[in-house]
Amino acid sequence: MENKTGYRLLNNICPIEGYTIEVYKSLKKLTLMKYFLNIILVIVAINPSLRAQSVVRVSQIINVTLAGPGSLVSFELKGFLPRDIPNRQRVIDIRFYGAKIQKIHSDKSDYYQYKFDGQSNYILNNSIVIEYDLELYDFDLSIAQNKSVKLSEDRIDLKKYIKASSFERKDHKRILEVIPQINGVSEFETLKNIFDYVVSNLEYDNGINENIGAVKALKKGRGDCTEFSDLMVTLCRAKGIPSRVVTGSIAKTAKNPNHNWVEVYINKYGWLPFDPTFADSKSASFEDIPNKYIYLNRERTDSSLGSSVFKYNWRTSSMDTRVFVESTYQCDKSFNKLLRQASEYYHKEDYPKAIELLNYLLTIDNLNVRCITFKAMIFAREGNFKDANQFFQIALRNSNHDYEIMTASYSYANYLSLIGDYEGSVKYLRTAIDYGFDNFEHLKEDKDLADLRKTEIYKEFLDEINLN
């Protein structure tokens, strides 16, 4: 038996058009593959309220392949899951498909863990799907400056964030030589000068395949996002400014979506994000950063994953058998654009074109409540009430946050009005209002509610919500 442990940052992006379609088709079958595992993580960021600014879909595909005559005796994979962070992101839902995946929660981070012991927890058609529904919030210094209250969610042990570490050696002589060159009349000005110093004195180099730390990065004058972040944090801590390196990913197709950036504690605002790496490429500044960050870990290293996004270990039946792990990513921002196009066809009553687009979108995300609801309403308007009701039940069952519940409930109220169930229609209108519906002018114009508006129960409903 041979034991190996592998660590790898997920750094290979490969957009694969239509791949997700095959993934969902594959969930219908159950097979055991002796030499190959596909692990697919689908990160879905959707925009359920005006507070969320970013709408993306990212698919992370991790392929685990055996090469050699032996078999896989055991395989374990552990990686970060996103978690709620005020002013940064909200996790609406996390779903697992294809195998038994354990969700692990700790004070600092959340994780997923998959274990295969050679006898149980086989993969459904060789694919594990982990879906995240996320709201990503636009947040940086410029936004914080426009708020009247401090936006920090914690101030736990700030002394920890001015200490030296193996990657942030603030007491090293090379750092001590630099510190006198960086000054400011205030902590805020000092921070700005540190940021500018890092951007000016490091050149981006994506060819560094190891964590070299701030000191070596400064000596070499180059580094990737990890070195940019390490150096900024090191200089901040040397000046007594609490700071930390964040590990996460960028919700954008790129060769390497995994990314490090910096958070600094400013007394007036709390913890604020800064990205010297993106500033080096002119895609961010001291005040403004793009809204495309997915937070996974707010510490430089993790007790179980180290500096990586995931960790895996394996055991095979033969020393001549090797396990290879590769990852690819796909980021698709076209989903919501196509959904808006389908919505336009729907409102123009061009139902064949709307259905064609909705069917395509449902092959990508077969539980997208907005797509299902649109399709259900088209069936209802065409008099196909049986199929409409079936689709509405799917939408209602899979509505997991306020916007989805509001949308599905309002549309179901329309359907119930069309079939003459006026009491039920009012009931679901109340639910829609409870979950955020406030377009009351539309109630007066919605043609699907025309018959409901003639009823006494509707007039009582209007009195109830003070619209009469």
Say if residues 55 and 45 touch (Cβ distance below 8 Å). yes
Neighbours of 445 (CB within 10 A): 10
Six-digit token string for 118: 């050679």
What is the CATH class of 141-290? alpha beta
- Please name every residue paired with 310 in a beta bridge, in sequence order, or none if there are none: 8, 79
**What's the CATH number of domain 2-138+305-332, 1.10.4030, 2.60.40, 1.10.260, 1.10.287?**
2.60.40
* pTM, rounded to two decimals: 0.65
Position 380 pLDDT exceeds 90: yes
Residue 210 has pLDDT above 50, yes or no: yes
Span 96-126, pLDDT tens digits: 777 788 999 998 899 999 998 877 777 665 6
pLDDT beyond 50 at 50: no
- Kindly tell me the burial class for residue 9, based on how many C-beta atoms sit within 10 Å of its own C-beta (0-12, 13-18, 19 or more): middle
- Taking CA atoms, 40 is separated from 135, 253, 364, in Å, by 21, 16, 13
How far apart, in Å, do the first and last CA atoms of the chain sit? 78
Give me the residues paired with residue 273 across strands. 263
pLDDT tens-digit readout, 401-460: 667 888 999 999 999 999 999 999 999 999 999 887 888 888 989 999 999 999 999 999
| Domain range annotation of the chain | 2-138+305-332, 141-290, 334-461
Query: Do strands 270-274 and 258-266 pair parallel, antiparallel, or not at all (unpaired)?
Result: antiparallel
Quote the tokens at residue 122. 């086989």
> Tokens in use for 423?
């009491």
Q: What tens digit of pLDDT does each residue of 172-191 get?
A: 999 999 999 998 999 899 99
CB 279 within 8 A of CB 199: yes
Confirm if 369 and 399 have CB atoms less than 8 A apart.
Answer: yes
| CATH superfamily of the domain spanning 334-461 | Tetratricopeptide repeat domain (1.25.40.10)
Check pLDDT > 80 for residue 263: yes
The proportion of the chain whose per-residue pLDDT surpasses 90, expressed as a percent, equals 41
For residue range 304-333, list pLDDT tens digits in order: 888 888 888 989 899 898 888 776 666 666
